[in-house]
């Protein structure tokens, strides 16, 4: 699974005070303060132009004083009343049709979604993507037209002439639509889970013979090798990400439903560093010319290696296999880059070793064949042998005093490359409940939905329905592209700012070639771009990172979503709701309701 940025510990994420990265809470405060100052200054300037400085000051004071007073008059009963009407309105607008659409989609999805390779991944990404897009779309439609519709039908007249605070209206609406959306997600989630588990289930048959046949029958595009364990249990061996257990009843064999198809691995990630071909430590490996710099590569047949350092290794990290002893379960994903084709069916070979940090003590190399982009399991027993064929104990000798252990991976074939990122090697601690993992993925979708509702409700306080919709959609789209926007704004993406890009397109100028002559036009272009980039940076810093809010990949790839991440997302959603509700309050309170 791709994880570009390691997940920060919750407290660091929220409260870190650092020059490079401000904690989310400080970021939130900064945005709110800047927004407040900016609106105050702009309000005062416009007021002064229209009414003179004294009156402008008085009005600004009244707006702020009102806001503080009305903060204490927000009433749960009123919020709930408005939420209820919002819900009734939503149901009247037949949102439940969306559920029907979704169910219909699932009914026919089975026809088109057939795959032999990792069906769980396909099904999960399908249902989660479908839910999140349909859910966001409905949340958008519901919430964006509600207030403008009230303005159009003038129903709002009878509402705001009651002792309703603008805050009640905003919060009530957000609450109401969130509840409707939650109901929708609940139904969609249930249907999705049912769909995935039903679609994944299949069985094989085993011909009843005297001797146990070698393989099961083919079903869902694969068959399993059969093996009898020491205790007599028959296993249809691990294939296509699952296995079956087989029970003998008289002459017949009963094959169970697939086991281990839906997983929620809890990984322990390490820190990755690279050794170059001379064996010297470097920050990154070799670039093989891929634009996406997520993975970097090590050359085969040299001393180049990828080294992960894991922290906190102790007895609990090992899995207990009963009589077989305890193992350190390491899972690794290798991306293979071939500079020569060779025999394409012969996999590229690599070695993996455990190493004690800060010393030369290494285990004997374990050979493996790298199957491109597939999770490979390596179980290291407690007692191992080192490179000098001396016995070493995993916990005693290889793990350092502070609980650190290094995993070293090298490629053996000359001029072939292995590509790695930080998340490509991990210790598989245990499996969490796949069901709760699925629920957690839905919480992420829920958070996205709440953020969309908050944006839409806030936008629709001053904008008419279609315009508010455009506004919200652009917010969402920009949110999905937030990283790119930030990259352009901070010059991390090649090609300069918007104007420079505009110049490069008609002049057919390469993104990385520089402008040679520095005449006035170029300088002006840079100047305008600097301004635009500053604006973009400001914009990007308040956009919700929808890409990062999605956890569908975790479920699809079978990894457990850390609660830390769920908590961060919930806090993020809460921050958007609070911030947008405040903005919405001022917009609604200080606009003329009538025309």
Partner 1 sequence: MADNVVVETRALSKVYRDFWGRQKVRALKALDLEIYRGEVFGLLGPNGSGKTTTIKLLLGLLFPTDGEALVLGKPATDVEKNERIGYLPEESYLYRFLNAEETLDFYGRLFDIPPEVRRERIDKLIKQVKLDAARKRQLREYSKGMTRRIGLAQALINEPDLILLDEPTSGLDPIGTREMKDWILELRDQGKTVVMCSHLLADVQDVCDRIAILHQGELKELGRVEDLLKVEDVTQVSARGLSAECQNEIRDVIARHNGELLSMDNPTTTLEELFLSIVRDSEARPGRRVVREEEATPPENSGESTEPPSTAS
Across the strands, what pairs with 306? Answer: 274, 409
Residues that bind partner 1 (CB under 8 A): 66, 70, 73, 75, 77-78, 80-82, 84-85, 88-89, 92, 153-165, 592-594
Closer CB to partner 1, residue 159 or residue 445? Answer: 159
| Closest distance to partner 1 from the beta carbon of 161 (Å) | 4
| Closest distance to partner 1 from the beta carbon of 67 (Å) | 11
| Closest distance to partner 1 from the beta carbon of 444 (Å) | 33
Cα separation, 228 vs 174, whole angstroms: 58
Closer CB to partner 1, residue 75 or residue 537? Answer: 75
Nearest CA to 586 out of 156, 62, 157, 150 is that of: 62
Across the strands, what pairs with 426? Answer: 269, 331
What 3-state class would DSSP assign to 544? coil
Closer CB to partner 1, residue 182 or residue 464? Answer: 464
Closer CB to partner 1, residue 65 or residue 104? Answer: 65
Backbone angles phi, psi at 33, to 5 degrees: -65, -45
Closer CB to partner 1, residue 89 or residue 560? Answer: 89
Q: Classify strands 281-282 and 252-255 as parallel, antiparallel or unpaired.
A: unpaired
Closer CB to partner 1, residue 81 or residue 109? Answer: 81
Closer CB to partner 1, residue 1 or residue 86? Answer: 86
| Closest distance to partner 1 from the beta carbon of 55 (Å) | 10
Closer CB to partner 1, residue 73 or residue 225? Answer: 73
Cα dihedral 150, 156, 157, 158 sign: positive
Closer CB to partner 1, residue 161 or residue 209? Answer: 161
Closer CB to partner 1, residue 83 or residue 318? Answer: 83
Token digits of residue 221: 């595009």
| Closest distance to partner 1 from the beta carbon of 137 (Å) | 23
Token digits of residue 516: 């040679």
CB neighbours of 230 closer than 8 A, spacing ≥ 6? none
- Is there a contact between 278 and 292 (Cβ–Cβ < 8 Å)? no
Cα separation, 489 vs 111, whole angstroms: 44
| Closest distance to partner 1 from the beta carbon of 458 (Å) | 19
Helices 465-480 and 434-459 sit at what angle, rounded to 10 degrees?
140
Token digits of residue 495: 């090609």
| Closest distance to partner 1 from the beta carbon of 459 (Å) | 17
Cα separation, 151 vs 243, whole angstroms: 60
Within a 10 A sphere around the Cβ of 481, how many other Cβ atoms?
A: 17
Within a 10 A sphere around the Cβ of 220, how many other Cβ atoms?
A: 17
Q: Where are the beta strands (DSSP E) in 184-270?
A: 226-228, 234-239, 242-249, 252-255, 265-269
Closer CB to partner 1, residue 84 or residue 277? Answer: 84
Closer CB to partner 1, residue 180 or residue 305? Answer: 180
| Closest distance to partner 1 from the beta carbon of 463 (Å) | 13
What residue has token string 């010319």? 289
What 3-state class would DSSP assign to 330? strand
| Closest distance to partner 1 from the beta carbon of 83 (Å) | 10
Half-sphere exposure of 241 (CA within 13 A, CB side): 22
| Closest distance to partner 1 from the beta carbon of 443 (Å) | 30
Cα separation, 472 vs 379, whole angstroms: 50
| Closest distance to partner 1 from the beta carbon of 28 (Å) | 28
CB neighbours of 40 closer than 8 A, spacing ≥ 6? 60, 64
Q: Where are the beta strands (DSSP E) in 421-559?
A: 425-431
| Closest distance to partner 1 from the beta carbon of 592 (Å) | 5
Helices 482-489 and 520-542 sit at what angle, rounded to 10 degrees?
140
């Amino acid at each position: 699974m791709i994880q570009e940025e390691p997940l920060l510990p919750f407290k660091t994420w929220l409260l870190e005070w650092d020059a490079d990265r401000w904690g989310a809470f400080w970021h939130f405060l900064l945005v709110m303060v800047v927004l407040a100052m900016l609106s105050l200054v702009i309000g005062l300037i416009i007021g002064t132009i229209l009414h003179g400085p004294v009156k402008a000051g008085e009005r600004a004071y009244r707006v702020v004083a009102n806001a503080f007073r009305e903060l204490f008059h927000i009433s749960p009963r009123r919020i709930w009343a408005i939420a209820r009407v919002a819900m009734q309105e939503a149901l009247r607008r037949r949102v439940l049709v969306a559920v029907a659409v979704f169910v219909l989609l699932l009914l026919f999805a089975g026809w088109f979604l057939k795959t032999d390779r990792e069906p769980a991944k396909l099904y999960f990404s399908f249902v989660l993507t479908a839910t999140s897009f349909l859910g966001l779309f409905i949340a958008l439609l519901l919430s964006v037209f509600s207030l403008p519709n009230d303005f159009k039908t003038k129903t709002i007249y009878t509402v705001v002439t009651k002792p309703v605070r603008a805050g009640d209206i905003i919060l009530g609406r957000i609450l109401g639509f969130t509840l409707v959306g939650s109901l929708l997600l609940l139904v969609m989630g249930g249907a999705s889970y049912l769909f995935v588990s039903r679609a994944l289930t299949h069985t094989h048959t085993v011909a009843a013979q005297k001797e146990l046949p070698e393989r099961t029958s083919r079903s869902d595009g694969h068959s399993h090798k059969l093996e009898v364990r020491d205790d007599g249990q028959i296993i249809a061996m691990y294939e296509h990400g699952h296995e079956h257990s087989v029970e003998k009843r008289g002459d017949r064999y009963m094959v169970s439903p697939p086991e281990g198809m839906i997983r929620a691995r809890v990984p322990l990630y390490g820190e990755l560093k690279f050794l170059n071909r001379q064996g010297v430590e470097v920050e990154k490996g070799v670039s093989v010319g891929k634009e996406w710099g997520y993975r970097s590569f090590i050359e085969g047949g040299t001393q180049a290696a990828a080294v992960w350092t894991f922290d906190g290794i102790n007895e609990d990290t090992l899995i207990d296999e009963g009589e077989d002893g305890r193992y350190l379960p390491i899972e690794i994903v290798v991306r293979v880059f071939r500079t020569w084709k060779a025999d394409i069916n012969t996999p590229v070979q690599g070695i993996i070793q455990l190493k004690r940090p800060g010393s030369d003590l290494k285990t004997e190399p374990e050979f493996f064949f790298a199957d491109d982009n597939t999770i490979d399991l390596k179980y290291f027993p407690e007692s191992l042998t080192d490179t000098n064929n001396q016995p070493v104990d995993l916990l005693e000798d290889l793990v350092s005093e502070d609980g650190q252990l290094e995993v070293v991976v090298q490629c053996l074939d000359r001029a072939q490359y292995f590509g790695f990122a930080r998340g490509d090697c991990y210790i598989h601690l245990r499996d969490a409940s796949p069901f709760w993992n699925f629920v957690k993925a839905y919480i992420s979708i829920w958070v996205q939905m709440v953020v969309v509702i908050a944006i839409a409700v806030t936008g629709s306080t001053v904008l008419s329905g279609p315009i508010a919709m455009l506004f919200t959609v652009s917010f969402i789209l920009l949110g999905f592209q937030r990283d790119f926007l930030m990259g352009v704004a901070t010059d991390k993406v090649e090609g300069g700012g918007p104007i420079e890009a505009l110049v490069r397109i008609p002049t057919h100028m390469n993104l990385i070639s520089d402008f040679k002559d520095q005449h006035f036009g170029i300088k002006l272009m840079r100047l305008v771009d600097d301004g635009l980039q500053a604006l973009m940076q400001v914009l990007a810093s308040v956009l919700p990172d929808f890409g990062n809010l999605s956890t569908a990949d975790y479920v699809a790839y079978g990894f457990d979503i850390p609660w830390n991440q769920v908590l961060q997302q919930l806090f993020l959603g809460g921050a958007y709701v609070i911030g947008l509700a405040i903005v919405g309050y001022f917009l609604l309170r200080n606009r003329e309701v009538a025309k």
